[in-house]
Amino acid sequence: MAGRTVAQHLVDLLVRAGVRRIYGVVGDSLNPVTDAVRRTDGIDWVQTRHEEAAAFAAGAEAQITGRLTACAGSCGPGNLHLINGLFDAHRSMAPVVAIAAHIPSEDIGTDYFQETHPERLFVECSHYSEMISTPAQLPRVAHAAIHHALGLGGVSVLTVPGDVAGQDSPEDRTTMVPLDRSPTIRPTDTDIDAFARLVDDSRRVTLFCGAGAAGAHDEVMSFAGRVLAPVGHALRGKEWIQYDNPYDVGMSGLLGYGAAYEAMHECDLLVLLGTDFPYHPFLPDDVRTVQVDVRPEHLGRRSRLDLGICGDVAETLRCLTPKVTPKTDRTFFDRMLRKHADALEGVVAAYTTGVERHRPIHPEYVASVLDEVAADDAVFTVDTGMCNVWAARYISPNGRRRVIGSFTHGSMANALPQAIGAQLPDRSRQVVAMSGDGGFAMLLGEFLTVVQYGLPVKVVLFDNSSLGMVDLEMMVAGLPPYGTTYPETDYSALARAAGAHARRVTDPRDVTDGLREILAHDGPALLDVVTDPNALSLPPHITGQQLTGFALATSKMVLQGGVGRMLRLARANLRNIPRP
């Protein structure tokens, strides 16, 4: 097509690569891009209030749809604001192209008004970060950006000076590679044979799964069944692996529960499947370890590695399972299932009965009711902070629900903008943001975005007037809480002033009704639940030192922690143990 500008050409390429919307905030240097979006069918501009939210939303849309998404910011501060959301998208491997508009090309290098160097600034949060200095570069550089984001999973950043974006673009004869069909990576036969030998030589095998086990539920179950292996998971593996799992022994890590830690430490072969689980103190160093990952650079970077397999989890297990000798000794497996059920019974007993009458409202009660009343295919976006703990323990995955958060980057304020990106591609799907009051206030302006677009996002606000997670961390470190509290704020009044439906609940008897009411509302809605700031949760494996610190500061605090519907699964799995 002749007579296109660089911006128009770029937008056309993004549409061909599957991008349906560009999230961002407009600006002078971005005008050629936004104008091209305005004139192009099949792509919309989504106007967020803060560019960080634009990047979070783009990352969430990519995680929900699996498609390429995009965000943009104007020169200098405009695109600089994208950075935290881009870090999150990149570390979640969400394919996102970010357009960083730049100052006029003739002024680069003169400390010009708003001058930054986006092509340098974004290097650390992208696979590809390049500047388009002349129109002739556009076709190949844009293709490279798209293919890096889709092919490697993560962010590409294109820095485009406003004047270059407005110039005429050259002809483009490059064919877009259809990257929506990702290839299957199959390990070599030598690797599979070595893997099978290790499994056959081991009496007690444990599997530990991460987000890389997405789409491999059946393969993991049949392999676990053949070798009688307990199956644990990391937080990001939970939504793919924990449901319909007769081998479940829970989650390991700071928010862990159940017997995953024991199963991983007491086996003689640990199989890590698609996990880049970062907390090496939770991984054994005296157990033989096999790791399977499509990304060879992840192999062995967290733990001991006796065999590293580069391959898809599902494909690797499809090749491996028929080659291993079925195991018949159930001793270890049954012991771990019992341990798991006991561990869950233990915390449920500690999680005081009568919580439905507890005032201030106990956040775990809110999460457990939300789990019951939310849709079977709901998307939950979860704020960093205590909401992470409540979602990990109470939101039951089922293979249709999705749970996304800032699980690798660990940024606050992710839930609300991620809900925007999760809702826009499908307004009929229930999207619930589980927000902390600190996180919600941090990107509060995005609630106006939700209302502006009439998105039926439901915000469940865990309003404890505090930065609760940090309160807990300070106590664990033996410090008195400091800088962690906020004055009480009626967020329901704020939400109503913004034009949404909202309700504030302070009485636990209103929680179920309040949740049902906002979920049923046809439009943006918020439930401000005034929750107990002293609802604490501790990982099952804290050190003595941490405990001492904790004990120092905790004299008046109540230590509680439930596990919701997981106990039912654990009890049901126990029934599968054959009677002697």
Ligand X SMILES: Cc1ncc(C[n+]2csc(CCOP(=O)(O)OP(=O)(O)O)c2C)c(N)n1
In angstroms, what is the C-alpha Rg of the chain?
25
Interstrand relation of 69-73 and 269-273 (parallel, antiparallel or unpaired): unpaired
Write down the least CB distance from residue 219 to Mg ion, Å. Answer: 40
Burial class (CB in 10 A: 0-12, 13-18, 19+), 108: middle
Residue for token pair 């307990």:
230
Which residues within the stretch 333-392 sit at the binding site for ligand X (CB under 6 A)? 383-387
Residue 436 in the binding site for ligand X (CB under 6 A): yes
**How far is it, in rounded angstroms, from Cα 389 to Cα 455?**
26
Give whichever of 154 and 436 is closer to ligand X, judged by the CB atom: 436
| Residue 66 C-beta-side C-alpha neighbours within 13 Å | 7
Q: How far is the CB of 92 from ligand X (least distance, A)?
A: 15
Output b/e per residue, 259-285; b: 16+ Cβ within 10 A: bbbbbbbbbebbbbbbbbbeeeebbbe
Stretch that binds ligand X, among 53-61, 62-70, 237-245, 435-443 (CB under 6 A): 435-443
Q: Applying CB under 5 A, does 437 fall inside the site for Mg ion?
A: yes
The residue range among 282-290, 369-377, 391-399, 432-440 that interacts with ligand X, by the rule CB under 6 A, is: 432-440
In the complex, minimum distance from the CB of residue 546 to ligand X, in angstroms, rounded to a whole number: 17
- Which of 464, 537, 554, 573 is close enough to bind Mg ion by CB under 5 A? 464
* C-beta nearest to ligand X: residue: 436
Q: Is 481 in the site for ligand X (CB under 6 A)?
A: no
Question: Two tokens at 7?
Answer: 């911006």
How far CA 550 is from CA of 350, 485, 536, in Å, comes to: 17, 19, 11
In sequence order, the 6+-apart residues with CB closer than 8 A to the CB of 401 are 239, 374, 376, 377, 378, 379, 380, 395
Among 59, 73, 311, 436, binds Mg ion (CB under 5 A): 436
How many of the chain's residues bind Mg ion (CB under 5 A)?
Answer: 6
d(CA 208, CA 517): 39
Q: Which does 263 bind (CB under 5 to 8 A by kind): Mg ion, ligand X, none?
A: none
DSSP H helices in 430-543: 437-442, 445-452, 468-476, 491-498, 511-520
Residue 96's H or E segment, with its range, is: strand 96-102
Q: Which is nearer to ligand X, 83 or 412 (CB)?
A: 412
Pick the closer one to ligand X by CB: 370 or 467: 467
Mark residue 271 as left, alpha or beta (left: phi above 0; alpha: psi -120 to 50; beta: remaining): beta
Q: How far is the CB of 385 from ligand X (least distance, A)?
A: 3
CB neighbours of 494 closer than 8 A, spacing ≥ 6? Answer: 444, 447
Give the binding-site size for ligand X (rule: CB under 6 A). Answer: 19
Sign of torsion over alpha carbons 318, 320, 322, 326: negative
Minimum separation from the CB atom of position 384 to Mg ion (A):
11
Residue 464 engages ligand X in binding (rule: CB under 6 A):
yes
The listed partner (Mg ion, ligand X, none) that binds 146, CB under 5 to 8 Å by sort, is none
**According to CB under 6 A, which one of 104, 225, 284, 410 is a site residue for ligand X?**
410
| 232 binds Mg ion per the rule CB under 5 A | no
Among 291, 418, 466, 537, binds ligand X (CB under 6 A): 466
- Minimum Å gap between C-beta 410 and ligand X is 5
The footprint of Mg ion (CB under 5 A) covers 436-438, 464, 466, 468
The footprint of ligand X (CB under 6 A) covers 383-387, 410-412, 436-439, 462, 464, 466-470
